[in-house]
Amino acid sequence: MFISSAYAQSAPAAAASSDLSSSLTGMLPLLLMFVVLYFVMIRPQMKRQKEHKTMLDALSKGDEVSTGGGFLGRISALEDHYAKLEIAKGVEIQIQRSAIAQVLPKGTLKSL
């Protein structure tokens, strides 16, 4: 009554060149999103990782550091993957070098 009958129609034949251009046009937003994602997220993260690695490679005994867990201390010994951190007079903890978040300016920790 309200809905009319639907009849199948044959689609007109499309040219092969239009199929190629339509598929490329369909891929364009996906490629554009990937390029934006690379410059907004991936590239800055790689840059931060590189800066963190150079900071860890430049560590030396006596540097004052802050860890990811919130500890502040002075490096008393360094190994390949670990560092000993003096957090108070006579109190040393062993941490992974990758847990060091930043190097503090000299003289920040006056109590040690």
Hey, where are the domains in the chain? Answer: 16-58, 60-103
CATH class of the domain defined by 60-103: mainly beta
- Count the Cβ atoms, other than its own, within 10 Å of residue 85: 23
Cα angle at 73 between 69 and 75, to 5 degrees?
A: 110
Q: How far apart are CA 97 and CA 101, in angstroms?
A: 9
**72/34 Cα distance (integer angstroms):** 40
Q: Is this model's pTM higher than 0.75 or not?
A: no
For residue 8, pLDDT over 60 is answered with yes
CA distance linking residue 3 with residue 77, whole number of Å:
83
The pLDDT tens digits for 23-52 are: 878 889 999 999 999 999 999 999 999 999
Closest by Cα among 92, 98, 96, 94 to 112: 92
